[in-house]
Structures are given as C-alpha cells and as structure tokens.
Structure 1
Amino acid sequence: MSRRAQVEEHMARLAEISGILAAMKTLASIETHKFARYMAQQAALVENIETAAADFLAFHPDFRDDATAADDARRLWLVIGSERGFCGDFNEAVAAALEASPEPGPRLLVVGRRLAGKLERHPRLVGWLDGPNTAEEVRPVLDRLLNQLHALRETPPAWTRLGVLAHAAEGGVVPHTVLPMQPPQSTRPAYPPRLNLDPAEFFAGLTGHYLAAKLPCLFHGSLLAENRRRLEHMERALHRMQAKLEDLGRARNALRQEEITEEIEMILLSAEARLGGIN
C-alpha cells in the first residue's frame, strides 16, 4: 500500500470517529435540554415541600432534628458520579471533594459505574449501583436506590442521617443534607397550619414526599452537569479531530504531488529512451 493510500485510510477512520463523536455531542445536547426542563419542575416541587415543612416546624419545633447530632456510624453518604465516560474530570472532581470532606467517618454508597471504579477500594464503601444515562433512566435507578437504602437501614448500625455529594447544575460538587429534612428558617406565620393528621404522622409523610422529590432533583442536576461536561469534551475532541484531518489532507496532497512528479519524470525518461533508440 502506498503512503498516500495509508494516509487516506487513516483519514477515513478519523472521519468515521468524528461522525460518532458528533452524534454523541447531539445526544448530550438533547439530554441537557431535557434535564434543564426537569430541573425547573423538580426544584419548584422541592421548594413547595420545604416551605410547608418550615411552616410546620415553626409551630412544632420538637420535630426539628439536628443533623450534626448523630455519630459517624449513623451517617450514610450517597455519592453520585457518572455511568459513562467522555465527561472530562467529572468523576475525579467528586472523588476529590469526597477526600476533602471534613466528615471522614460516614459510610458511602456510590451511584455510577465510572465513579465506583475509582472508589472500589475505599474503606468506607458499603455498595454501589449503576447510574442513569438519560432522563428516562432516573426513575428505575431511584427505585433500586431506595431498595438499597432500605436494606442498609435494616443492617446494623442502621443509618439515620443521609447526605448526598454530587455535581450541582450550576457547577461544582456540593454536599446536601437530605435526611433529616432541614428546611430554611422562615418568618413564623400568623396562624398555625391546620392538620387533618397527627403531627408525627403528617411530618413523617411530608419527609417521605421530600425524599421522593429531592433525590430526583439531585440526580437531574448531576446529569445536567455531566452532559454539559460531555458537550465541552466532545467540542474539544471534534476540534482536535478536525485539525488532524486538515493536517492529513495537506500530507495527502503533498504525497499526491510527489506521485504526479514521479509519473511525469517516468514519462519523460520513457520518451527520451524512445528518442534515443530512433537516433
């Protein structure tokens, strides 16, 4: 195979890879728009629940739980990473934030195959789950996660405090206290909320609704940040690929010029030989 043919074969392979990267970029862009839409809806739901909880706790302060009161054995951190690659240092940033955490003792439950691979030897790891790739996969992952949380709750020492460490949609890795619910302090309403349930039963149900709303919100935020990283990664990869194809195109043209020059030289030499034979 000639050098020019080798260059053209290499260009064909790079063009094929470039097409795959472009398709991945398009899918990441679609997912980014979906997550941004879901985030707005989910954030509004979480805010409404927190407002209701704040009004309730203003008149029932005994139900407000100090999240710092439990020992490390009772704490569980849910650490969210990515299931797929091509997202830059997304998982490395989560691992670095975990190591920098001022709370060295809580047990860890990891979501996301890529991050789990980096933390598989962590001394406090108690389990891991496959993570979602698309918006439609969030709900099945949450179902498996809740089952895992329930199983860990039944295993002594049972966890009573749940935190989440994940990328925020706005950027950066942010720790969240999910349980016990810690709504922001608000102005005490003029009248207490009218309840049709026992206060303990009401607050337990409200906490369940909060968990069911907060976890999807955190997953959507993490996936939004992940796909933004993937878009940036794909952009850089496509730019490098295009630059490489341009370099190979120039090399192919130079090799073609050399072949043409050699062909012309062969023609001239052949003509000179024929003329010499006639003389």
Structure 2
Amino acid sequence: MPQTLETLTRQMGSMESIHSVVRTMKTLSVINSAPYEQAGRAIEAYHQTVLDGLHAFLRSTGPLDVPVHEVSEKVFVVFGSDHGLCGSYNEVLAAHLSAQIASEGGSAPTVLCVGAQMADALADRSIEVERLFLPPASVDGIGRLANLLTQHLDEIRQKAHPSDIAVNLTFTARGDGGGQVTKSVPLLPLGDALLHDLQKEPWESRSLPTFSMQARELFLSLIRGFVFASLFKASAEAMVTENAARLALMQQAEQSIEDRLEALRSDANALRQSGITTELLDVIIGFEALRKTGKKTSAPRET
C-alpha cells in the first residue's frame, strides 16, 4: 500500500522523538560510568592498604599457619543488572555461571544475586537464588551493597562453622580493546599464593611493624577489609560495564534510527517531488487545453 506524505511525516516525527530518547540514554550512560570508574580506582588504594596491613601482620607474626577446614558450602555472588536496555548482559553472565556450576558438580551452591533482571536470567537456567540484593543507584550505594554482602557472607560462614565456605565473585569486567569479559574470581578462603607472596615480600621500612590487638582479632579484621574491598571493586566494575553495554546498545539503536530517518526523508522528498511534478503536469495540460480551446474559438468563420 503506497504511503502518503502525511503518513511519512508522522513516522518521521515518531522516529525523531525516539532518536531524542536514545541520545538522552547515551548521555546518561556516559555520565553514570565516570563516578563508578573513579570509585573503582579509589577502592584500589584501600585494597592495597589492606594488603599492606596483611603484609605487616605476617612480618610481625612470622609465617601464618592457616588451618585447613573442609569446605561445606560453595557461595557465588553474581553482580548483574536491575535495568534493561543493556542487551544480553545478564543472559551472558547467567550462562557463564551455569557452565561453571555444571563443571564443578557437587551439591547446588548458594547464589547471592545483585539485580532483579539478573535473578530472572538465573531462573531461566533453573538456578535458585538464595537472596536478592538491589544494585547501587549511585556511587554511595556501592559501599552499602558491599557492607550488606560482607555481613551476609559472615552469617553464612558462622552457620557453616566449624567447616569453611568457598566464595566466588562472578561479574562482567572490561576486557582488552574496549570489550567485555565475564570473570569469576575466588574470594574465600584466601589463596595460598597470596599469603605466600606476602610472606616472601621484603619489608621496606627500617621500623619493624607491631600491633597491640589480639592477633586473631586483627587478622579477622584484615580479612573483612579484604572481602569488603573485593566486593566493592567487583560492584563498581560491574556498574561500569553495565553502562558501557547500555551505551553500545544505544549507539547501535541511534545508527539504526538515523538510517531509518534518512530513508523516510528520502521517501518523503521523492513523494513530495512526485506531487510537485504531477501538479506541474496538470497545470501544463490544463494550459494546453485552454490554448487549443482558445484557438478554435478565435478561428475566422467562412462566408
């Protein structure tokens, strides 16, 4: 069915409105990413401070003999999205976690999920979520989320005592070349490699470290700081990549809309030109008809 000029004009108006919304979403994605990037860089300094504290503790106490407990429960903390317009962000993360759980086998793990849409993606793969957390709405919310997760992990660990728990963080991070990569980072128990490296690292200051707290309490406090910093960093990285995914999707949508607008404008111009040509032809035909009629009327009569 051929379209009229009025129909094309309405379609162009609708597409221009959508184009305005998409451009606004692009701008918001860029604006939102910057504070989360700054938060990620800031927590790196705190994370390093905690590692320095562990280094000082090990330097003062000597090699740490960490008792090995049987792992009775596996816990996965998944950082997803609570908002749409970010493509297959949650689905890719859910597929990665499902494959990891299948490869490890054993009993079903405890899954702590950040983001309602992430929970829906996990439910589609028959992964039960033990508790759902709301993602941060701003940079200030990252600390709130990290605190809540730290407290909940501590509760799970206390319930599992005297056994231990194994905690993994699953989130989407920035990859090389501006891409995105799904990561699964072990959090607890502390890796032997980390403790071994800290024990081997020389103490650079001439003053030997010392402390007045009970060694066990200080060590547990440092571990909580390490867990909090790791959760904070994973949450900030997940928010940056979520906004990056939304930005990429909005760029694709913007390009599609601009192509569609260009096609509509071309069709409207062609239809308008066709209308003008038709009107001109009507005028010319009418003029020619009038001229022929005038010639017949003005012709001399025979006597």
Q: 1:107-126 counterparts in 2 under 5 A?
A: 107-120=110-123, 122-126=126-130
* Gaps in structure 2 of 5+ consecutive residues: 298-303
User: What is the letter of the counterpart of residue 27 of structure 1?
Assistant: L
- Do 1:55 and 1:188's aligned partners in 2 also have CA atoms closer than 8 Å? no
Q: Which residue of 1 aligns with 2:51?
A: 50
CA distance in structure 1 between the aligned counterparts of 2:255 and 2:164, rounded to whole angstroms: 48
CA distance in structure 1 between the aligned counterparts of 2:188 and 2:218, rounded to whole angstroms: 16
Q: 1:17-28 counterparts in 2 under 5 A?
A: 17-28=18-29
Q: CA deviation at 1:275?
A: 4.7
Number of equivalent positions: 275
Among 61, 66, 69, the alignment partner of 2:64 is 61
Q: Which residue of 2 aligns with 1:88?
A: 87
- Do 2:71 and 2:166's aligned partners in 1 also have CA atoms closer than 8 Å? yes
Q: CA deviation at 1:123?
A: 4.2
User: What is the letter of the counterpart of residue 125 of structure 1?
Assistant: V
Q: 1:1-279 counterparts in 2 under 5 A?
A: 3-57=4-58, 59-62=62-65, 64=66, 69-71=70-72, 74-101=73-100, 102-104=103-105, 105-120=108-123, 122-146=126-150, 148-149=152-153, 160-170=165-175, 171-182=180-191, 183=194, 185-186=197-198, 187-189=200-202, 193-272=209-288, 274-275=290-291, 279=297
SS at 2:132's partner residue? strand
SS at 1:176's partner residue? strand
Residues 90-143 of structure 1 deviation map (CA, whole Å, 9 limit, x = unaligned): 212211211221334421111112211111252442122232344343234445
Q: TM-score, normalised by structure 1?
A: 0.85
CA distance in structure 2 between the aligned counterparts of 1:70 and 1:197, rounded to whole angstroms: 29
- Do 1:28 and 1:231's aligned partners in 2 also have CA atoms closer than 8 Å? yes
Q: CA deviation at 1:243?
A: 1.1
Residues 126-174 of structure 1 deviation map (CA, whole Å, 9 limit, x = unaligned): 1222323443432344455456556656777997332211112444111
Q: Quick one: structure 1 residues 54 and 168, their matched pair in 2 at CA, closer, same or farther if it must change by over 3 Å? A: farther
Q: CA deviation at 1:208?
A: 2.0
- Do 1:28 and 1:228's aligned partners in 2 also have CA atoms closer than 8 Å? yes
SS at 2:212's partner residue? coil
CA distance in structure 1 between the aligned counterparts of 2:150 and 2:286, rounded to whole angstroms: 82
- Do 1:83 and 1:113's aligned partners in 2 also have CA atoms closer than 8 Å? yes
SS at 1:61's partner residue? coil
SS at 1:52's partner residue? helix
SS at 1:120's partner residue? helix
Q: Quick one: structure 1 residues 35 and 123, their matched pair in 2 at CA, closer, same or farther if it must change by over 3 Å? A: closer
User: What is the letter of the counterpart of residue 188 of structure 2?
Assistant: L
State, as a whole percentage, how many aligned pairs show the same letter. Answer: 23
- Do 1:77 and 1:165's aligned partners in 2 also have CA atoms closer than 8 Å? yes
* Gaps in structure 1 of 5+ consecutive residues: none
Structure of higher CA gyration radius: 2
User: What is the letter of the counterpart of residue 115 of structure 1?
Assistant: M
CA distance in structure 2 between the aligned counterparts of 1:66 and 1:265, rounded to whole angstroms: 94
Q: TM-score, normalised by structure 2?
A: 0.79
User: What is the letter of the counterpart of residue 184 of structure 2?
Assistant: P
